[in-house]
């Protein structure tokens, strides 16, 4: 049992009931008595600001063009100075990289391109020394087809690992020819079944052919997973981001999906019969024994269903990523214009769906989505900085644990993709085969859509300085091209400019960290229908904040609703200072935070 001591910085100010132990530190599971005035149980992971590192693209230390763990260690001071206190590391495990590490060959080994276990330990030590925490990616819906379990499983029908995966014989179609067991599609195009010549049966893969799905109905598989989780927790990691976790339980009768089900297959896959049972078992076997943070990637779970996975009384996960907000600009994989009332409706609904027993995440970017400022702000030169700062204001003042994706603190932008050769992502390449080579979509339209939606937008290397390849690598060639705007947009420039996006992130993170109302306070959207202004309050006891965001490139005069008066201006992303109480003259993309 690993009961680490956890600092809860806000406890002293917020405690309604003080537990028997010290007021500044509490042992795991003993902090349940710290309740905010509006009823939330205080937890370190609710007060955290998380920074996601995609290791392949963060910092290369040895010149092979691929980011690595020593590279991360060399940038820990940068992260600490930013003010984030939890790092989420995308997969760092041994992998043949069909899906950049989301296809794991050995859960207990470090990917050789990223370094060694000693490098991992040194990184973890550096993180702890800086009073930060580390959560790692738990990818256990599937493994790599090169994992030793799958190699054994596919070898014969009667080997002890056969049941670690999901195998079915094909069936005879109306034309008398053999077909896959059912019409389940893969998220990466084509059928979710792959025939394996060794035994003439099909295995299930919801993602790439090289990512066979584990059979969670086999208790041995579940115990293997719990053991590997303990392996990393015992090393000192502080929790997990769980990849596509609602998908672990399958309806193993595999009925044919109806045309309607095929339109929202994520929802179908996320509603297997034993999902909650397995998560509760995992919680009992692992999470309950440590003081950890868990966040599930909740593909296919609606906003209203969120409490099923995160209500603390159900003992499953702490939080989930719901995609309603980040995917508001897409229909499936196709880019769609989004509206501010639509985005506000997601946040309002999310808030209504969760009570004090459930906690939320706030994020609008990650390694699977395009760049924050390009998607939700305006990345053209006049407004890139202002809109990136406005988005940061929103992310750090909404209710829920905020997640920053690497480079968003520099307002890094989407990449100007021109040709298919510019892409690395398996999803982009498979889509090209499925949609362009079959003549369904023109190549130009396909690339134009990927320019706005493609995952590689977020995966181009971090831009550290104006030297060749943005200072990401000293080698001749990074694994994916650096955005050509690196000479202008890079960390060195941002650090040198006191008015930069990086320093604004720093300021907002600091403000959030010391303001209980911005963490736990009640949220109210003041003007849900307004097409350009997002105005909301966060209130906790006597502490009240008003946040006003002008989501447009137009200056506007905004009269606060319900006779509300603005209070004292704590932050303006554009340096406004004037006293304005009921009518605010907002500049394009201006964000203001008032304390009332
Ligand atoms: C979700 C991950 O975020 C994504 O990058 C990956 O391709 C799929 N899961 C499959 O693991």
The binding-site residues of ligand 1, defined as CB within 6 angstroms of any ligand atom, are 99, 102, 139, 207, 243-244, 297, 367-368
**How far apart are the CA of 311 and the centre of ligand 1, in A?**
25
Other beta carbons within 10 angstroms of residue 455's beta carbon come to 19
Determine the average pLDDT of the residues in 119-147: 98
Contacts of 54 (CB under 8 A, 6+ apart): 67, 90, 367, 405, 406, 458, 459
Atom of ligand 1 nearest to the CA of 188: 7
**How far apart are the CA of 385 and the centre of ligand 1, in A?**
30
The closest alpha carbon to 402, from 361, 367, 372, 364, belongs to 361
Atom of ligand 1 nearest to the CA of 90: 3
Using CA positions, which residue lies closest to atom 6 of ligand 1? 102
| Cα 310 off chain centre by | 16
Atom of ligand 1 nearest to the CA of 142: 11
Q: What is the pLDDT of residues 538-550, one digit of tens each?
A: 999 999 999 999 9
**How far apart are the CA of 479 and the centre of ligand 1, in A?**
19
To test the pocket of ligand 1, the residue of 57, 99, 103, 189 to mutate (highest count of ligand atoms within 8 Å of its CB) is 99
4: pLDDT strictly greater than 70? no
Using CA positions, which residue lies closest to atom 5 of ligand 1? 368
How much of the chain is helix, strand and coil, in % rounded to 5? Answer: 35, 20, 50
Residue 141, helix vs strand vs coil = coil
Predicted confidence at residue 25, as pLDDT, reads 29
Atom of ligand 1 nearest to the CA of 208: 10
498: pLDDT strictly greater than 80? yes
122: pLDDT strictly greater than 80? yes
Per-chain mean pLDDT for the chain: 94
Residue 578 pLDDT level (bands cut at 50, 70, 90): confident
The whole-model pTM stands at: 0.95
7: pLDDT strictly greater than 60? no
Cβ atoms of residues 440 and 446 within 8 Å: no
**How far apart are the CA of 566 and the centre of ligand 1, in A?**
43
**How far apart are the CA of 103 and the centre of ligand 1, in A?**
9
302: pLDDT strictly greater than 90? yes
Reported for 385-390, long-range contacts at CB under 8 A and 24+ positions apart, including other chains, are 385/411, 385/500, 385/501, 386/573, 386/574, 386/587, 386/588, 386/589, 386/590, 387/589, 388/501, 388/504, 389/501, 389/504, 389/573, 389/589, 389/591, 390/549, 390/550, 390/551, 390/573, 390/589, 390/590, 390/591
Predicted confidence at residue 5, as pLDDT, reads 32
Atom of ligand 1 nearest to the CA of 299: 1
Q: How far apart are CA 92 and CA 67, in angstroms?
A: 11
Q: How far apart are CA 73 and CA 54, in angstroms?
A: 14
Using CA positions, which residue lies closest to atom 2 of ligand 1? 243
Contacts of 485 (CB under 8 A, 6+ apart): 413, 463
Residue 184 pLDDT level (bands cut at 50, 70, 90): very high
| Cα 530 off chain centre by | 28
Cβ atoms of residues 135 and 200 within 8 Å: no
Determine the average pLDDT of the residues in 202-213: 98
Atom of ligand 1 nearest to the CA of 427: 7
**How far apart are the CA of 491 and the centre of ligand 1, in A?**
27
**How far apart are the CA of 102 and the centre of ligand 1, in A?**
6
Q: How far apart are CA 102 and CA 587, in angstroms?
A: 43
Q: Supply angle C-alpha 399, 572, 489, rounded to 5.
A: 90
The closest alpha carbon to 432, from 415, 416, 420, belongs to 420
Atom of ligand 1 nearest to the CA of 426: 7
**How far apart are the CA of 450 and the centre of ligand 1, in A?**
17
Residue 66, helix vs strand vs coil = coil
Using CA positions, which residue lies closest to atom 8 of ligand 1? 102
6: pLDDT strictly greater than 60? no
To test the pocket of ligand 1, the residue of 92, 97, 244, 298 to mutate (highest count of ligand atoms within 8 Å of its CB) is 244
Q: What is the pLDDT of residues 307-319, one digit of tens each?
A: 999 999 999 999 9
Buried b or exposed e, range 165-183, using 16+ CB within 10 angstroms: bbbeeeeeeeeeeeebbbb
Q: Return the active site residues.
A: 243, 297
Q: What is the pLDDT of residues 229-288, one digit of tens each?
A: 999 999 999 999 999 999 999 999 999 999 999 999 999 999 999 999 999 999 999 999
- What the block records as the tokens of 327 is 């995917």
215: pLDDT strictly greater than 90? yes
165: pLDDT strictly greater than 80? yes
To test the pocket of ligand 1, the residue of 189, 243, 425, 455 to mutate (highest count of ligand atoms within 8 Å of its CB) is 243
**How far apart are the CA of 521 and the centre of ligand 1, in A?**
33
Q: What is the pLDDT of residues 314-342, one digit of tens each?
A: 999 999 999 999 999 999 999 999 999 99
Counting residues of the chain whose pLDDT is more than 70, the rounded percentage is 94
């Amino acid at each position: 049992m690993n009961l680490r001591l956890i600092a809860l910085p806000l406890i002293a100010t917020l405690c309604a009931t003080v537990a028997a132990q010290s007021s500044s530190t509490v042992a795991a599971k003993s902090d349940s008595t710290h309740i905010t005035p509006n009823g939330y149980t205080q937890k370190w992971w609710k007060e955290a600001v998380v920074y996601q590192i995609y290791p392949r693209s963060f910092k290369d230390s040895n010149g092979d063009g691929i980011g690595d763990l020593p590279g991360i260690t060399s940038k820990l001071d940068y992260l600490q100075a930013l003010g984030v206190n939890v790092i989420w590391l995308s997969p760092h495990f041994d992998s043949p990289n069909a899906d950049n590490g989301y296809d794991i060959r050995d859960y207990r080994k470090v990917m050789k391109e990223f370094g060694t276990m000693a490098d991992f330990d040194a990184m973890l030590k550096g993180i702890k020394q800086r009073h930060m925490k580390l959560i790692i990616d738990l990818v256990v819906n599937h493994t790599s087809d090169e994992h030793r379990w799958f190699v054994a499983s596919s070898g014969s029908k009667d080997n002890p690992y056969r049941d670690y995966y999901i195998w079915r014989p094909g069936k005879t179609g109306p034309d008398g020819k053999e077909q896959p067991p059912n019409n389940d599609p893969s998220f990466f195009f084509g059928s979710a079944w792959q025939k394996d010549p060794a035994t003439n049966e099909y295995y299930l893969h919801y993602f790439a052919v090289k990512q066979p799905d584990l059979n969670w109905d086999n208790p041995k598989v579940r115990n293997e997973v719990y053991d590997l989780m303990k392996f990393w927790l015992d090393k000192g990691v502080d929790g997990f981001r769980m990849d596509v976790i609602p998908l672990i339980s399958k309806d193993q009768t595999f009925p044919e999906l109806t045309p309607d089900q095929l339109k929202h297959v994520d929802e179908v896959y996320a509603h297997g019969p034993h999902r909650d049972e397995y998560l509760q078992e995992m919680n009992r076997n692992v999470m309950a024994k440590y003081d950890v943070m868990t966040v599930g990637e909740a593909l296919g779970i609606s906003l209203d269903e969120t409490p099923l996975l995160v209500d603390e009384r159900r003992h499953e996960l702490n939080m989930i990523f719901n995609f309603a907000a980040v995917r508001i600009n897409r229909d499936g994989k196709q880019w769609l214009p989004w509206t501010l009332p639509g985005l506000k409706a997601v946040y309002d609904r999310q808030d209504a769906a969760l009570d004090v027993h459930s906690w939320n995440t706030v994020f609008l970017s990650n390694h699977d989505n395009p760049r924050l400022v390009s998607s939700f702000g305006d990345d053209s030169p006049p407004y890139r900085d202002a809109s990136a700062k406005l988005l940061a204001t929103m992310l750090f003042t909404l209710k829920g644990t905020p997640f920053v994706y690497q480079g968003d603190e520099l307002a890094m932008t989407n990449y100007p993709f021109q040709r298919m050769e510019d892409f690395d992502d398996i999803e982009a390449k498979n889509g090209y085969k499925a949609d362009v080579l079959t003549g369904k979509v023109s190549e130009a339209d396909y690339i134009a859509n990927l320019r706005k939606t493609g995952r590689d937008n977020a995966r181009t290397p971090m831009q550290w300085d104006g030297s060749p390849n943005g200072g990401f690598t000293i080698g001749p060639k990074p694994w994916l091209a650096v955005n050509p705007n690196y000479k202008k947009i890079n960390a060195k420039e941002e650090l040198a400019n006191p008015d930069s996006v990086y320093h604004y992130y720093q300021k907002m993170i600091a403000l959030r960290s010391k303001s209980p109302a911005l963490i736990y306070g009640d949220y109210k959207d003041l003007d849900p229908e307004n097409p350009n202004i997002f105005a909301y309050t966060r209130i906790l006891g006597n502490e009240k904040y008003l946040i006003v965001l002008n989501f447009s490139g137009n200056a506007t005069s905004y009269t606060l609703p319900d006779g509300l008066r603005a209070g004292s201006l704590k932050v303006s992303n554009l340096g406004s200072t004037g006293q304005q109480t009921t009518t605010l003259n907002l500049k394009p993309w201006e964000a203001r935070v008032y304390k009332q």
